[in-house]
Amino acid sequence: MNFTPPPPGERRLALFDLDHTLLPIDSDYEWARFLARVGAIDGDEHTRRNDDYLRQYQAGTLNIFEFLEFQLAPLAAHPRAQLDRWHLQYMDEVIRPAIQPAARDLVSRHLERGDLCALVTATNEFVTAPIAAEFGLAHLVATTVEAVNGAYTGRPAGTPSFREGKVTRTHAWLASLGAAFEGFTTSWFYSDSINDLPLLSLVTHPVATNPDDRLARLAAERGWAVLRLFE
């Protein structure tokens, strides 16, 4: 792909999905597997349900609210300090070893060029905020987790960052910066999933990144760029 410096006065926006886009794994799925390994959850039952929800996501049939009720429950079951300790271990054992140079380079090229960049993911903010920081991304649009007095309730807050919700949440994030999509001459969204079609359709440069079969077919039909980071 061509990463030339922008002409004077041009504003660029680069948005990145996370799971199977910048990472060759699903961070939410692997977080649950990690919790099972450290004994924080009932591994067999959680894995069975986790696998079922992953298949629903891949098929485009996932009920996000049902899934979040299941997936956020462990955050309410343990003190925040313990969750933070586990997440440090998770970063060391699971996430950092999975990050590949091609993904780091993609993000770095946009950042070094001065593009406004954000990680836009359906995975919750607790899991993904340290991952965004690992990629050098200061902006995160993720599913927000409700907290009371610093403790997670296990419920989402506001609109989940999923399908059309990614568009809603990205608009809100840009508005918080005093910006809007219309203010950018060029915009990218990198994603692997057909679930991200609403946001892919909004940017000027949708990039099917390590695409699933349905997104690969759609990208071919529409002439969208295809990027395979992990081959």
Considering 19, 26, 28, 212, which one is annotated as catalytic?
19
Closest residue by Cα to residue 53 from 135, 103, 122, 7: 122
Question: Catalytic residue at 213?
Answer: no
What string of pLDDT tens digits covers the 231 residues of the chain?
444 444 556 899 999 999 999 999 999 989 989 999 999 998 788 888 888 988 887 787 889 899 999 989 999 999 999 999 999 999 999 999 999 999 999 999 999 999 999 999 999 999 999 999 999 999 999 999 999 999 999 999 999 999 999 999 999 999 999 999 999 999 999 999 999 999 999 999 999 999 999 999 999 999 999 999 998
Query: What is the pLDDT, as a whole number, of residue 1?
Result: 42
Query: What is the pLDDT, as a whole number, of residue 9?
Result: 61
Closest residue by Cα to residue 64 from 135, 168, 140, 138: 168
Query: What is the pLDDT, as a whole number, of residue 62?
Result: 86
- CA angle (60 as vertex; 57, 62 as ends), nearest 5: 50
Phi/psi for 106 (5° steps) reads -60, -50
What distance in Å separates the CA atoms of residue 93 and residue 38, rounded to the nearest whole number? 12
Query: Listing from the earlier edge strand, what are the strands of the sheet with 205-209?
Result: 151-157, 140-148, 116-124, 12-16, 186-191, 205-209, 225-227
Determine contact, residues 122/64, Cβ cutoff 8 Å.
Answer: yes
- Tokens 């009932």 sit on residue: 42
CATH topology for 12-227?
Answer: Rossmann fold (3.40.50)
Closest residue by Cα to residue 161 from 140, 142, 138: 142
C-alpha distance from residue 169 to each of 106, 120, 173 (Å): 23, 9, 6
The β-bridge relationship of strands 140-148 and 151-157 is antiparallel
Considering 17, 115, 196, 212, which one is annotated as catalytic?
17
Question: Catalytic residue at 17?
Answer: yes
